[in-house]
Amino acid sequence: MERGKIAQWVLIGIAAILFWQFGGNLFGKGNEEVQPNTFYDANRLPDAQRQPEQICTINGARFEAELSSRGGSLRHLRLTDQGKYSKNGKPIDLVTTSQEWRQPLRTDLRLPGVEKQQTPFDNLDWKLAAQDGKSCTFVYEDATSKLTKVVRETGKPFELEMTLEVKNLSAEPLKHRLTVEQTSWRTTEETKGSLGRISEHMTDVVAATPEKVDRLHADAFEPKDFKDAEFTNEYWRRSPGAAKWVAVSSVYFTKAAIPLEGPAPLAETQIEEDWNREKFDAASREKDKDTHGHVYRARLAYPDVELAPQATQTYKVLSFTGPKEREVLAAVGPGITEVIDLGTFSPIAKVLVGYLKILHKAVGSWGFAIALLTITVRMLLFPLSISQIKSSAAMRRLKPEMDDINARYKEDPAQRGLALQELWRKHGVTNPVLGCIPVLLQMPVWFALYQALQTAVELYHVPFLSARIIPDLSDKGEYFVIPAILGASSFFQQKLMPPQGDPMQQKMMQYMLPGIFVVMMLYLPAGLGVYMLTNTWLGIAQQVAVERYLSRKTQGSAGIEVREKKSSGDETKSAPALGKGKARVRG
């Protein structure tokens, strides 16, 4: 197979991948089914009977949290790192839901379908009994129950610890079922990616048990999916085994809940589609695209508990709401770093990220650390590339002979192929198809590095070189400088390659491939641009160095003569037409 044909298949493959990842956005879902009703708060205290809302503020390590007496839940959690975790001069608030019944850390104790329960309503009004800037104590008490909920900062970044004590004041046994959830709300427009890039607001729900880690997106909660065996009669998707932790995660931030004390809970997840609408068809999505979205929910669902009169049950849950900084997550608890989605090749990506952090400590710049990481990876993979570079150099040297063969057998592709193969064999040139194998072997490393750099919160809001040109390594650069330089570099690299195939195929490789790189890089994070640009320059340097080395070893012409095999005896007679398998190369 000629290199031109390979180029065609490469371009077709790239187009197929891009369409697979982003083409679905070009067409509406066309689904007029609706999700089942997931709203179970049937017994609610009427608004007219509600008490005034009380707010308690906790100042923790690198965050400020506001909790409400309505549900004892989070209303706001702002990150207090100046610059890095702020937008438009304001701290990032990781609480994105506004409805009381979808607030993070809201305490639910009622069971659906049970007559005698520990609490009379789902929307409880708690009394703020105490606060000191580091903790909040909420108390709810009626004739049958006394609930005490203490939320405090742990001294570690982005952590809150919630302790709930449930006491039965009734003269008869009563049941309750605690659920504690983390939530997030995002519109469909927010979660859409641009060409080649994942939106930083792309969100998933994660449930971790000893058996597995389930990572689910909205497409796992289509109306038909709620009929699957994994879903409960409350329409939550239950992961097998006891919960280790649950989380709602975007690309750079996560909200996790980890059980610390009490009965072993289950891990359940749910993604509600635009819960305040009655119809979820494609036309409604397009009409209300600015407001249409999903509520992402992940919860710890504790088993039912029946309390005897005056009996008490205590629960303790750790909440982490913050950026996915690897060192910080590792200190939260075992396995929490799995909230970082490193894709299929996560073992490779973890090694690369660990090495990147070491380089950053050495040079003090994430941009230069990425460049050094690229150099290291390129050098380690050089043994896989050397044969391809050598073949490329040899094919450049053999270009006159190859042109002669192409012209001689212009009308006979089979004979042309045989002659080219014989020429390559004679001079130890790897077949272009076999030359692709080293590239394929490197693909897992490239994919892992791509995913690692695109999800690294360490690059979030970090400038490189010039804050005006690259103000944020996690976002596209200004003025499209990196795509332009990458396109020019890729064009130059293609000029170094020996031309193959017909002129149309040559133009495809020389112009279209660099053009594709430019388009792909327009909206990719600048950190990936630094990697791709460094990688391209290294590829050019390696190719030039190898070709110069080979040219010093082999001076002059290749000494190849391609001719038709003469009939035996009289060489003065004109040669007969070359039959099948008769192509020969003589040095």
**CA pseudo-torsion sign 290, 291, 294, 295:** positive
- For 71-125, what is each residue's pLDDT tens digit? 899 999 999 988 889 888 899 999 999 888 899 999 899 988 788 899 988 888 9
Split at pLDDT 50, 70, 90, the class of 573 is very low
Report CA torsion sign: 395, 400, 403, 404: negative
- By the 10 Å C-beta count (0-12 exposed, 13-18 middle, 19+ buried), 380 is classed as exposed
Other beta carbons less than 10 A from residue 451's beta carbon: 22
Buried b (16+ CB within 10 A) or exposed e, 468-480: eebbbbbbbbeeb
Structure tokens belonging to residue 586: 């003589």
In whole numbers, what is the pLDDT of the chain averaged over residues? 82
Query: Backbone phi, then psi, for 536, in 5-degree steps?
Result: -65, -45
For 36, the 3-state DSSP assignment is coil
Report how far residue 274's alpha carbon sits from residue 278's, in angstroms, rounded to the nearest whole number.
9
pLDDT of residue 547: 73
Q: If you average pLDDT over each of 19-28, 244-253, 271-280, which comes out highest?
A: 244-253
Condensed to tens digits (0 to 9), the pLDDT of residues 395-436 reads: 767 778 887 888 888 788 888 888 888 887 777 666 655 556
Higher local confidence (pLDDT), 342 or 160:
160
- Please determine, for residue 557, whether its predicted confidence score (pLDDT) is greater than 50: no
If one counts every other C-beta atom within 10 angstroms of the C-beta of residue 448, the result is 23
What pLDDT shows up at residue 52?
92
pLDDT of residue 280: 53
Instruction: Evaluate if residue 339 carries a pLDDT over 60.
Output: yes
| 337 alpha-carbon distance from chain centroid | 14
Task: Name which residue leads in pLDDT, 506 or 185.
Answer: 185
Whether 393 shows a pLDDT value over 50: the answer reads yes
Within 8 A by CB and 6+ apart from 83, the residues are 461
Closest CA to 292 of 275, 305, 309, 306: 275
- In percent, the amount of the chain with pLDDT more than 70 equals 78
- Rounded distance, CA 531 to CA 326, Å? 21
Has residue 21 got a pLDDT over 60?
no
What is the CB neighbour count within 10 angstroms for residue 450? Answer: 18
pLDDT of residue 497 exceeding 90: no
Section 446-462 average pLDDT: 88
Rounded Cα distance, 491 and 390, in Å: 20
Residue 60: count other Cβ atoms within 10 Å of its Cβ.
22
Given this model, what pLDDT does residue 507 score? 66
Bigger pLDDT: 206 or 387? 206
